[in-house]
A and B are shown apart, each in its own frame.
Chain A
Amino acid sequence: MKTVLSSLLLLLLPVVASAQETAAEIEALLRKTDDVARGDSSIATMEMHVKTASYERTMKMKAWAQGTDRTLVRILEPAKDAGIATLKVDENLWNYLPKVDRTMKIPSGMMGGSWMGSHFTNDDLVQESRLSEDFTWTVDARPSGGEGQWTIALVPKPEAPVVWGKVVVEIRADELPIRTTYYDEKGKVVRTMAFEDYAAMDGRTVPRVMRLTPADKPGEFTEMRYVELDFGADIPTSTFTLQALK
């Protein structure tokens, strides 16, 4: 009896060893996914295309980011909205409205509201949670020999500031993201973020297009396309102040 048990343990050993190896690997992978299109600092020019049941419009905007804590987005086009800017510092969000020359702080109760008429919420902008830190993961699929893809299911840790019930990320063998699917507490798909058009920008390969599709509004989506992306630019911290917003 004893021999049977010890031989079973012996059989299990290599499996455990390989799983431990993978943990560090997966966390690095998730970290990379978290930071896709993000560097220490970046300046980006983007086009945001929004399609809803009642309208379809394209906005051009420029974004300055310093780490994950500070972001400034300013609308360039269309003319009607030009100059409108959003400033994020830590969890705070302000909008600047040039027409009335006023800055407005988004109250915490309105964080779930739409950002600039898109399918992104204000919350998405201040999103503090990181796949690599706030979730426990299980690997459902892994690439082998450069073929296939990663499919990793993530469940938020109990006290993590996350509204989702589950998130599933799909990542290419070369570690670029394919798709992130967000589920609610009941396991229903809420929205899907798809990444496309992988290209080298400022020396890095990134998906140039992110398309967010809400599950409950068929035909609607918001597509964000990088026109220019500049990593490692030296952005003064004064850029991310209310004075600079105006």
Chain B
Amino acid sequence: MSTLLAMAWRNVFRNVRRSLLTATAMALAVAIVMGIGALQHGMFDQMRDLMIGEKLGHVQVQHPDYPVGRRLHDTVPEAGAVVEALEREPGVARVASRLFGSALLGTERKTEGVQLHGVDPVREDALRDISEKLTAGSWLGEAGAHGIVLGDELARKLEVQVGGELVAVTQAADGSMGNELYTVVGIVDTGSPSVDRAGAFLHRADLGELLVLPDQVHEIVVVARDHSDAALAVALEATQGAVGDREATVRSWKEVDPSTAQIFDFQAISQWILMFFFYGVSGVGVVNTLLMSVLERTREFGVMRAIGLRPTGVVALVVLEAVVLGTFAVLGGAVLGGLFDLYLVQVGVDFSVHGEGFAFGDLTMDPVVHAHVTPTNVWQPIAGIFGFSVLAAIWPAVRAARIQTIDALREA
């Protein structure tokens, strides 16, 4: 075996140019799949973070009628207890509860119809890092302070700055005209156009007072430990447990937004397509290289067969050549891909069109996408290209084993 390996090794270096060319192509394939895969991962991560963070969470709890009618009265019963129970669950990373209401918000000069998001400031910030998305001012503070954080576009339309005062008027749950004065404490760019354009955040207790819905919650949002299906299942089960037989529906974000869930399913498919395209191309390269080399060595195989090498030995030799070639290619590819990944992580790729972020559904993505390198992202192209090249070697190997000894010997 070691002699065969030595032979395979030296055979690979026999035609340095050809082997180098093939190995380089394979290495590039590894690097490209690594880089593009990580970039795509980064992009979908960002999309997922936006999706999960800004909108859906992994799991949502709502009154059964709330998703359809979004009526003020359809609140989650005993939401406080549910949230507390969820915070004790190990399979739950974050929990936040939200109260919503539409209102007129404005100054004497400008008024806009807005969606008010009543949130638990600390939990909401932990969930979606909203304080990092502030473009001015600070995030919400204590209840009763009547602070309000505006979407940046809304702030622009209302012509207010941090420190400005706004009146909110809404029809409260009891039918009265809820109205209150709020002070703008912050301005935020969430990346969700609908929120940035017509969204305002305030303390859930403050909104509860305005809407005459004290301690009420329209939505509990649960974030799982990670974006995997397994973590989702755990979080879903934990949430169902915490909700118990209270009158509330528990839905995964995939149920809430199936069309977006499909986009993420498509990610997996497109990754596979990308991978198999490059694996296929590199496999074809290997077949070509080995076939050429095998046909050139007909006489050599004849001699080896004549002096007693079995056909399986011939197959082993050619496959070993692919292993050697693949090892070099993949090592080179890993280095190249590592550099590529490093660049894509550090610098990223600017997908902006005229400086604008690109839209994904009703969310706006950061125009510069940074790669996210996962272990899978690294080993999959390495194993894939290597595996495919070894697999691809089987054809030329069998061709070599089928060479008729005396015919080969007659060829001098």
Contacts and interface: CB of A to CB of B under 8 A. Distances in A.
The answer to whether A and B come from one shared complex is yes
Nearest to B182: A100
B72 interface: yes
A117 B113 contact: no
Contacts of A81: 176-177
A54 B72 contact: yes
Interface residues of B, number: 21
B73 A102 contact: no
Contacts of B167: 97, 100, 102, 104
A114 to B, nearest CB: 6
A107 to B, nearest CB: 5
Contacts of A107: 104, 106, 111-113
B256 to A, nearest CB: 24
A50 B172 CA distance: 14
Interface in B364-384: none
A104 B106 contact: yes
A130 to B, nearest CB: 28
A78 B177 CA distance: 11
A171 to B, nearest CB: 32
A54 B176 contact: no
Contact of B179 (A55, A56, A100, A106): A100
Contacts of B73: 53-54
Range of interface residues on A (Cβ < 8 Å): 20 to 34
B148 to A, nearest CB: 13
A57 B111 contact: no
Contact of B173 (A55, A100, A103, A110): A55
A116 interface: yes
A10 to B, nearest CB: 63
A108 B71 CA distance: 23
A56 B179 CA distance: 19
Taking chain A's interface residues, is the majority helix, strand, or loop, or is none over half, making it mixed? loop
Contacts of A43: none
A188 interface: no
A102 B108 contact: yes
A104 B175 contact: no
Interface in A143-197: none
Nearest to A98: B179
B104 A57 contact: no
Contacts of A80: 176
Interface in A78-121: 78, 80-81, 84, 95, 97, 99-100, 102-107, 109-110, 113-114, 116-117
A52 interface: yes
B8 to A, nearest CB: 75
Interface string A36-54: 0000000000000010111
A105 to B, nearest CB: 5
A113 B169 CA distance: 12
A23 B179 CA distance: 49
A113 B176 contact: no
A105 B111 contact: yes
A107 B113 CA distance: 8
Nearest to A78: B176
Interface of B: 71-73, 104, 106, 108-109, 111-113, 167, 169, 171, 173-177, 179-181
